Amino acid sequence: MIGVSPRQLPEWAALVGHAKELAKTDLRHLFAEDPGRLAWSTFEVGPLHIDLSKHLIRQETLVLLENLARARFLPDAITAMLTGEHINVSEDRAVLHTALRNGANLAGPVDGIDVGVEVEKVLTRMEQFARAVRANQRVGCTGKPFTAIVNIGIGGSDLGPAMVTKALYDFSDKSRAVYFVSNIDPIAIDEVFNRCDPETTLFVVVSKTFGTLETLTNAKAARQWLLKALGEHEDAVEKHFVAVSTNADLVSSFGIDTENMFGFWDFIGGRYSVDSAVGLAIMLAIGPERFRSFLRGFASIDQHLRETPLSHNVPVLLGLLAVWYRNFFGAQSQAILPYSQRLARFPAYLQQLTMESNGKSVRIDGATVDYDTGAVYWGEPGTDGQHAFYQLLHQGTVLIPADFILFAEPLGGPDAQQDLLFANGLAQTRALAFGRDDAELEELGVPAQLRPARRMPGNRPTTTILAQRLTPEVLGALIALYEHSVFTQGVIWGIDSFDQWGVELGKELASELVPILTSAGAPVLDPFDTSTADLVSRYRHMRGRPT
Ligand code: F6P
């Protein structure tokens, strides 16, 4: 399977022909020709209702996509992931984020680790710690309770906890503020220092490797800030710093006692780690019970993935639809449009999940792909997006499939506004799907010369995800849905969705540049290209350093 381009497969060719057929029709006709459309294109999964009816598909499309999935051995790949095979080939690792929400499903140890037991042990320690902090029993070195939690991490060690903490704010203990520092930009940590009091601040340093420049630099700055104020207390660092990492040695060489470390494992990828100890800040905010319910949301989708035939397997279908648009319609990007202010960071979170996973151009067997892989994911909450970029979604020249995430109940505020919010989201999916043609414009009295500009082409595909309310469980389910969609896409493309070698070179070159930018004397710039050398000189000049 791995050594073959999916383009060589007859199942791929069948989809090419089918896409051509579908290009001759549109969503108005697709709805009209099949009164039973809703029956095969809408699904209930966990706490979510999923409507795929406004996609450029017929029932047959799903069958053809399923055929492709079988030809790529997707069912075997799902089993391989769920049972801890080393499917992350380039790093020779298992991929077991699903064990974080139900380790009991694993038949036995993986790589010598009884994963279910170990996951539970860490969860229990997290819970004890979170309860103690939330009850003001675990306090700072001067005996004061913590009023601020500062999560220092980047990428998967920031985006997940930051997104979820914001999303579930209404379920959190508001007596403690939770801040996130990720960027190495000095102003980021400075903003937090300005808002916090060292005596009542708890730092959670999160880094899978504990070797990430941004995180260690910010953590060192935080330690310095703390010791400046509380240095006379021997236990200042011990009381005010905890770590989340897989690397106990580096945690203790940083000066954090491993007693204050919450572990996870190599088989949890950074972008798949929000439900591991990486979610400690979330648990501190929402409490252990709600964190468990967050995990249950993930587990409901995992169970669905494991037990449901491909034809009704929603995350699989979502992944296959992503392939459908990317490879058979040339779609370059995918919009994520949550109609919830609390999900403002969800698109950013998904950017790492999707783009770090599937932004690959080499297959697992080392061959360069001869087809497109991961799309660009982006988005903003509705209705703000409507007044910014939806114009291009409706009338632009590129096809951008969009996911609309809608809720029935508000999390607070004037209740009637939820009706307006929902109406807006639903209206957009209608306008995108069915547009408005010249005959309708004429009926509305629009003069002929204005009709081209006001014509709404429609036929723009959307997924609608509907849930009662944005609860911890719903959010867990939503994340798992995307995780498994990303996985499905990666299997079709034959790529390793769990490594991220593309980010390494930039890190290496940055550390090479630091001494060149900061040296006391003028550096030798010969090894650099002329653009880089020029920019180094300009920067040094602007910083008052000899050039
Ligand atoms: O540089 C990319 C990356 O490795 C991500 O995959 C990861 O989430 C992030 O850096 C942070 O890594 P760490 O948790 O090891 O600090």
The pLDDT of 524-538, averaged and rounded, is 96
Whether 380 is catalytic is: no
Per residue in 340-390, pLDDT (tens digit) is 999 999 999 999 999 999 999 999 999 999 999 999 999 999 999 999 999
The residue to mutate among 251, 503, 505, having the most atoms of ligand 1 within 8 angstroms of its beta carbon, is 503
pLDDT band of residue 108 (cuts 50, 70, 90) is confident
Residues contacting residue 85 through CB under 8 Å, at least 6 positions apart = 94
Per residue in 72-98, pLDDT (tens digit) is 999 999 999 999 999 999 999 999 999
pLDDT band of residue 48 (cuts 50, 70, 90) is very high
pLDDT over 70, % of the chain = 100
The pLDDT of 22-41, averaged and rounded, is 97
140 Cα to the center of ligand 1, angstroms: 29
Residues contacting residue 104 through CB under 8 Å, at least 6 positions apart = 116
pTM above 0.85, yes or no: yes
Rounded to 5°, the CA angle 379-382-384 comes to 90
Per residue in 255-288, pLDDT (tens digit) is 999 999 999 999 999 999 999 999 999 999 999 9
**Helix (H) or strand (E) segment spanning residue 334:** strand 333-338
The residue to mutate among 212, 262, 354, 499, having the most atoms of ligand 1 within 8 angstroms of its beta carbon, is 212
The pLDDT of 301-306, averaged and rounded, is 97
Catalytic one among 214, 356, 380, 483?
Answer: 356
521 Cα to the center of ligand 1, angstroms: 34
Q: Which residue has the tokens 């999940």?
A: 353
CA 523/CA 515 separation, integer angstroms:
9
CA 400/CA 36 separation, integer angstroms:
26
- Closest ligand 1 atom to residue 503 Cα is 1
* 76-85, 108-117, 444-453, range with the lowest pLDDT: 108-117
- pLDDT(192) > 90: yes
- pLDDT(110) > 60: yes
- Closest ligand 1 atom to residue 271 Cα is 8
* Core vs surface per residue 346-357: b (16+ CB within 10 A) or e: bbbbbbbbbbbb
Cα distances from 493 to residues 175, 277, 316, in angstroms, run 47, 31, 14
What's residue 103's pLDDT? 75
* Burial degree of 319 (CB within 10 A; 0-12, 13-18, 19+): buried
Catalytic one among 191, 387, 512, 541?
Answer: 387
pLDDT over 90, % of the chain = 98
- pLDDT(104) > 90: no
Q: Where are the alpha helices (DSSP H) in 158-287?
A: 159-167, 186-195, 213-230, 236-240, 248-254, 280-286
264 Cα to the center of ligand 1, angstroms: 14
14 Cα to the center of ligand 1, angstroms: 39
The pLDDT of 461-473, averaged and rounded, is 98
- Closest ligand 1 atom to residue 157 Cα is 14
- pLDDT(105) > 80: no
DSSP 8-class letter at 179: E
Whether 54 is catalytic is: no
> Ligand 1: residues whose CB is within 6 Å?
154-157, 207-209, 212, 215, 270-271, 356, 500, 503
Whether 356 is catalytic is: yes
Phi, psi of 93 (to 5 degrees): -135, 150
Residue of minimum CA distance from atom 16 in ligand 1: 207
- Cα 146 → chain centroid: 29
The pLDDT of 100-122, averaged and rounded, is 90
- pLDDT(62) > 60: yes
What's residue 2's pLDDT? 61
What's residue 277's pLDDT? 98
The pLDDT of 444-469, averaged and rounded, is 98
Q: Where are the alpha helices (DSSP H) in 308-358?
A: 314-328, 346-351, 357-358
- Closest ligand 1 atom to residue 159 Cα is 8
What's residue 106's pLDDT? 84
Per residue in 471-520, pLDDT (tens digit) is 999 999 999 999 999 999 999 999 999 999 999 999 999 999 999 999 99
353 Cα to the center of ligand 1, angstroms: 12
